[in-house]
Amino acid sequence: MFASRFVSGTRKRIIAAFFLCAVVGLTLTLPAGQAGSKADCDQVEGTLREQVTGADPVQSVGRLRGDIKGDYSFVLTAGSPSQTPDVVHFDGRSEVQTKDGKIFFSDAGAISNVGRGNLAYLSTIRDGTGDWAGATGQLLFRGFVDPVSGRGVSDYVGEVCTQDD
């Protein structure tokens, strides 16, 4: 009986050791295989000034200033009421034309439909051109869009990663 427990316990230790070696081996080889595509990530911040230009679908144009500079455009792709009174959830697409290429984003956020139109949204980089090709990252915007004038101001913070060549 002792011998069968020993064999059983030894077998479990061998299997555990095998899996441990496999996991360690994968962990050590994955970064080496990605050495040619190392990302260079930067913390970014700035402001956005925008103006609503269309209503069906909602569209806006503006200017990004700060660490990312360029002409901004946004198109609403979906909206739905929140369980919180006077708040609407939304999804959209935006892009920024910089001097070095375009950055394309998918946006998700919430806006108040009362008062000054407070809003917050997350813009996830989904593609880019020029120096922004292969970029990844996210920008977090917070600010307002006045429901009467259609003018808005937001601050942004985030991280943008570009490919090192």
Give tens-digit pLDDT for 40-72. Answer: 999 999 999 999 999 989 999 999 999 999 999
Same structural domain, 145 and 104: yes
Give tens-digit pLDDT for 98-148. Answer: 999 999 999 999 999 999 999 999 999 999 999 999 999 999 999 999 999
Residue 20: φ, ψ to 5°: -60, -45
Same structural domain, 28 and 67: no
| Helix, strand, coil tally for the chain in percent (to 5) | 25, 60, 20
Confidence band (pLDDT; 50, 70, 90) for 39? confident
Same structural domain, 114 and 145: yes
Same structural domain, 122 and 51: yes
Indicate the burial class of 35 (C-beta count within 10 angstroms; 0-12, 13-18, 19 or more): exposed
- Answer for the pair 153, 46: CB distance below 8 angstroms, yes or no: no
Same structural domain, 18 and 91: no
Domain that holds residue 117: 38-163
Confidence band (pLDDT; 50, 70, 90) for 163? confident
